[in-house]
Amino acid sequence: MIVRTKFISTMLLTTLFTMGFAATSTHSTTAEAKTSVKIVWRHKVRPAATYQMKGIKSKRSYAYSAKLAHEKFRLSKYAHKQFTVTYQQKVKVHGKYRVYYYAKNTANHKISGWVWRGYLTKASNKQTNLISKSKLNQLISAAPDLQPDKQVLSLNKDVYSKYATIFNKQYNVGNFAAPGVFFHDHATIYVEDSALQSNVNSAIDKWNAALGADVFSIGSKSNSTLTVGFGDGTAAGWDGLFNGTSVQVDQTHFNDQSYVSANTLSPAFQQKIKALSDQASQLLANTNAELKANRENYQTQLQLLNSQLNNASSDSQRDQITQQINDLKNHHHITDQQIRNDYNTQLDQIRQQIKDDYNAEQESSSASLETNYWTTVITHELGHALGLYHTPYQSDIMYAPTDNESESTPSPVKYSWTEPKDPDATRSYETAELSSRDINRAKLTKLLGYW
């Protein structure tokens, strides 16, 4: 597969987040909400944490919308209730800094908003019988390679946070998206060039359908957390690249309508090539056998005639045997040349058949293959945003020819590879379909809090 990717550590990336919450509350705006508020930073809490609202009696304490512009609910109504915190943000109000948590009531997720962290206290963790490290490794070993099964995806949520490094290495995953790309488990994509729109739409539909959630959607330039556009990857050797906040597609190769078909072969065509190759090999073996038989027959008869020549008792006998020897040499030469000519004729026919089949392949499959290929490239890069690194299975959308591509930031992997582990499988870019391994790994990265 030609797809290459590139990661940039999220530690080196600046926060990209421009989408706020829509104003849905009908409450009046408080004095605090009328002030000028600037968001300094916003990060996802990985993994989500459980907090308890303190015993607040004041009826003037509220949870707010993103920029504290609207009241969401009165805190005193939910004193001592538990909330799940998924984001935190630092804001500047009247020159002073405050940290707010985005909290959702565990009993009713519609009760949510930004709460000053001083009103929340970390809920005590009563879980004392977490799965052991050795037991976890046993579960992973029992599951298919790089394929988190139902048991692995059904563990206590605290297991994922405690053993995140184990999951990362055993399943080739990590936190690759920059802070702010995903908000409420969702990323909004702005497509910079309309030529890419159809492929991006297809990639979004595939991930959303596979994960059963609205993970990606199309947004505008001013209302997006992730961009998809063209870049220049020809010299560096990549067709798609994810850098933490954007996806780039190589423009030169994308615009070359014969690029994919000229560099890829369908399974049907590969089978034809294999059959013709086997035919050519058999032809060569048969030809060599005929040449050998012709040579051995010549040598046997020549030896017999030479013996007769040595024992000839008259000149007329010697002349007759000499003529037989010359006739034998000419016959051997003619037969040898005929065998070689027949071989070259049949070999030329096989070569012509390969050319004809190749031309037919280009005419019949190039259009669909081009579409599937570029949809696969973008689906692959969105997979990186979800926290998926490469696999050695070419049936996976996340396949890469090697675990350590030159244009990629190294990521911990379960093992190294330089060739596919499923060489006879249909390659993902031929169908642009996600594999169960792609899907289950994405489900795992959600449990790990990577999106």
Amino acid at 406: S
Q: Do 148 and 440 contact (CB within 8 A), yes or no?
A: yes
Q: Do 238 and 5 contact (CB within 8 A), yes or no?
A: yes
Separation CA 350–CA 332 (nearest Å): 27
Of residues 267 and 102, more confidence is placed in 102
Q: Which residues contact 442 (CB under 8 A, 6 or more apart)?
A: 207, 210, 211, 383, 386, 387, 388
Q: Do 71 and 25 contact (CB within 8 A), yes or no?
A: yes
Q: Which of 109-123, 189-203, 385-399 has the lowest mean pLDDT?
A: 109-123
Residue 17's pLDDT band (boundaries 50, 70, 90)? very low
Residue 368's pLDDT band (boundaries 50, 70, 90)? confident
pLDDT for 129 = 62
Separation CA 187–CA 180 (nearest Å): 9
Rounded to the nearest 10 degrees, what angle do helices 315-385 and 197-211 cross at? 70
DSSP 386: T
> Coil, helix or strand for 40?
strand
Secondary element (H or E) of residue 246? strand 246-250
**What are the distances in angstroms from CA 277 to CA 271, 283, 291, 377, 426?**
10, 10, 21, 31, 20
Q: Which residues contact 249 (CB under 8 A, 6 or more apart)?
A: 196, 228, 229, 230, 231, 233, 239, 240, 374, 377, 378
Amino acid at 116: W
The pair of structure tokens assigned to 136 is 């976890």
pLDDT for 27 = 35
Of residues 142 and 49, more confidence is placed in 142
Residue 94's pLDDT band (boundaries 50, 70, 90)? confident
Q: Do 86 and 127 contact (CB within 8 A), yes or no?
A: no
Separation CA 247–CA 191 (nearest Å): 10
Amino acid at 268: A
Q: State the pTM of this model.
A: 0.60
Q: pLDDT for 277-332, tens place per residue?
A: 999 999 999 999 999 999 999 999 999 999 999 999 999 999 999 999 999 999 99
Q: pLDDT for 152-176, tens place per residue?
A: 999 998 899 899 999 999 999 999 9
Looking at 59-186, list the stretches that DSSP marks H as alpha helix, in order from N- to C-terminal side. Answer: 133-142, 157-162, 164-171
User: Is the pLDDT confidence value at 413 over 50?
Assistant: yes
Strands 226-231 and 37-53: unpaired
Mean pLDDT across the chain, nearest whole number? Answer: 86
Amino acid at 225: T
User: Is the pLDDT confidence value at 123 over 90?
Assistant: no
The pair of structure tokens assigned to 438 is 């792609």
Q: Do 123 and 52 contact (CB within 8 A), yes or no?
A: yes
CA-based nearest residue to 81, from 46, 127, 115, 120? 120
User: Is the pLDDT confidence value at 19 over 80?
Assistant: no
Q: Which of 321-330, 334-343, 403-412 has the lowest mean pLDDT?
A: 403-412
Separation CA 385–CA 181 (nearest Å): 8
